[in-house]
Amino acid sequence: MTTQGARSSILRPIPFHYCAGCSHSVLHRLLAEVIEELDLHRRAVGVCGVGCSFLMYDFLDLDFVSSSPGRAPSVAAGLKRAVPDAAVFTYQGETDALSAGLTDLVHAVSRNEKITMLVVNNCATGLSGGQLSPTVLAGQKTRTTPAGRDPQQHGHPIRLSEMLAGMDLPARIERVALNSPENVERARLALRAAFRFPLEGRGTALVEVLGSCTTYWGLSPTDAETHVAQTMVPAFPLGRFGRNEEG
């Protein structure tokens, strides 16, 4: 019998270094629990992107490979082709995935590589100081857009899940959030399905995770979760996208 709330054995007994209210710590915990539930501990190989979470291998007792900026999907695809039985996953923030790495991500999905891809979208470039990221919303202030993002000057925010869905690919695409207990449980189910999908030989599974960046939003953890619910979710609706909207 599994005790509800028990700490996953994959999580190393050290504290996270993330800011208070950062979503990475919640997602790391979910990731560890899902990999343990699916008995993938010895098959899972993670590819870290460049961002606040690039040291996640310190916290998770799993095999990891580090990639250069934006190249996690390409590295993961090579790993999976070399070791077909591995449960290969990527973990990137939206700046790494959609700025430096948009080409790698789109082409990995277009080839239907049998990997799991996690993209944390918190509308901020956290590692380097809170600059504009590809998903920053119109009017949102950042260090490089102090007057707010102007789509005429800075472009429109990229909606990754919708963009991939428009390509009519066989990939499994889902967007989730971590701002409430209910959404955390939905994210758990999405992660579980996203690991199973490629292991069943069906192709790429991508989960876009709406997260919070309390430091560069200038909000308390509680206010940040409210911001996710009231501002981010309307702009980035939750749910399944594309051809594989079921299953």
Q: Which pLDDT score, from 0 to 100, does residue 51 have?
A: 86
Beta strands in the chain (DSSP E): 44-48, 63-66, 87-93, 116-121, 172-177, 205-210, 239-241
Q: Which pLDDT score, from 0 to 100, does residue 119 have?
A: 98
Which residues, given as ranges, of the chain have pLDDT below 50? 1-3
Mean pLDDT of the chain: 94
Tens of pLDDT, residues 65-121: 999 999 999 999 999 999 999 999 999 999 999 999 999 999 999 999 999 999 999
In angstroms, rounded to a whole number, what is the distance separating the alpha carbons of residues 191 and 174? 9
Instruction: List domains and CATH numbers for the chain.
Output: 24-130+159-241 (3.40.50.970)
Side chain identity at residue 126, one-letter code: G
Tens of pLDDT, residues 125-135: 888 888 999 99
